[in-house]
Amino acid sequence: MKLETLAIHAGREPDPATGALREPIHLATTFERGADGSYPHGYFYSRSGNPNRTALERAVAALEGGHEAVAFASGSAATLAVFTLAAAGGRVVCSSDCYHGTAKQLREILPRWGGAAEFVDTTDLDAVRRALEPGATLLWVETPSNPLLRVSDIAGLTEFAHERGALLGCDNTFASPVLQQPFALGADLVMHSTTKYLGGHSDVLGGIVVVREASAELEGLRHFQGAGGGVPSPFDCWLLLRSLPTLPLRVRQQSANALAVARFLAADPRVERVHYPGLEQHPGHALAARQMRGGYGAVVSFQVSGGAAEALAVTSRVRLFTRATSLGGVESLIEHRASMEGPLSQTPPNLVRMSVGLENVDDLVADLGQALGG
């Protein structure tokens, strides 16, 4: 089936008890046991499994073309679950430009579990090859990356990782399965912060990991999900399932809006640099054009002439964009990224990150124009 069809039908069917087209929210924490001691419906306690979570996991696995998915209470919980696979002597090689929360986990939590991490520019294949040599367990890549929108070659990185016995995990949050299919390029694990595009309405927190095939890694993720307990609530799962049918429509239109916004910014002399792979001058444009389909995502970062003070001033003058972190919702957001990340941020101090929404793009461009004008 095509992705648009899967987005509507995967993981769901009419309620067998009532015929309702939308699945009920199963708020029960525990499930009845049979007289013979069995669990005839397949569930016994909601931390270990719940019908809403099962439906969500099946739907996202289908959208990514994977074998099975494991849902968590946040994107950070999902990445941490993956990194447990590299604990006790393992080593993770990670994109140097990545979500600051991911870097924090690798620097502060993984070493406590006996693992180690190295950060490398994953757009530089020679640098990655060298970093993988001393026995890496996992190569973790964000593409496009957060917040500089760098594009890494998933197929090439997978080949390097597999040659050295490592797994390739891909954070596909910025692209979503609509624009990028990492399993088709060889990846072993795909992760999403479901808070973002899969949720799409800024009203649900979650994360999910999809595995390419049945494996020891899947068993490890399932064990961490149940034993660690960082699971999404039934209502959160229901909200995510509600959002998936419109995912292709939302992401494609947001991407089209983002490209128009990026082109406007690239032509403005008050802007020092625009980071967006849909622009032909972006160093990763040709790779993105091969690796992605139907768009380049809806996150645009740009550096303002005049330094950090002017970047903050631009965000203070917007009228339509909302000053807030996160991304993927239907509304457009803007933030001065370095001040949000804190004192250890490596983000350029004059960088502004935007999540472009579904408003009329002319209105978005007009708002940025007046904000840049002072």
CATH label of the domain that carries residue 72: 3.40.640.10
**pLDDT over 80 (residue 344):** no
**Residue where one domain finishes, among candidates 245, 277, 294:** 245
How confident is residue 342, by pLDDT bands cut at 50, 70 and 90? confident
Q: By mean pLDDT, which of 79-93, 140-154, 160-174 is the weakest?
A: 79-93
Q: DSSP H helical segments within the chain, as ranges?
A: 3-9, 51-64, 75-84, 100-104, 125-132, 154-163, 176-179, 216-228, 234-243, 247-266, 285-291, 307-317, 337-341, 361-373
The answer to whether residues 167 and 304 belong to one domain is no
Q: pLDDT value at position 236? A: 98
How confident is residue 325, by pLDDT bands cut at 50, 70 and 90? very high
Q: pLDDT value at position 88? A: 81
Count helices and strands in the chain by DSSP H and E runs: 14, 12
Q: pLDDT value at position 272? A: 97
Q: Which two tokens stand for residue 192?
A: 């999403």
| Number of domains composing the chain | 2
**Residue where one domain finishes, among candidates 245, 264, 290:** 245
Q: What gap in Å lies between CA 194 and CA 197, rounded to an integer?
A: 7
- Catalytic positions are 47, 99, 171, 196
Q: pLDDT value at position 89? A: 87
Q: What gap in Å lies between CA 291 and CA 288, rounded to an integer?
A: 5
CA distances, 282 to each of 104, 111, 337, 356 (Å): 28, 35, 20, 18
Give the range of the structural domain holding residue 212, as residue numbers without chain letter.
Answer: 3-245
Q: What gap in Å lies between CA 132 and CA 91, rounded to an integer?
A: 9
The answer to whether residues 349 and 241 belong to one domain is no
The answer to whether residues 332 and 238 belong to one domain is no
**pLDDT over 70 (residue 210):** yes
Specify the DSSP class assigned to residue 350.
T
* Three-state secondary structure call for residue 274: strand
**Residue where one domain finishes, among candidates 245, 271, 293:** 245
When the pLDDT of each residue in the chain is averaged and rounded to a whole number, the result is 96
The answer to whether residues 20 and 169 belong to one domain is yes
Q: pLDDT value at position 374? A: 66
pLDDT in tens, 112-164: 999 999 999 999 999 999 999 878 999 999 999 999 999 999 999 999 999 99
pLDDT in tens, 272-309: 999 999 999 999 999 999 999 999 999 999 999 999 99
The answer to whether residues 261 and 185 belong to one domain is no
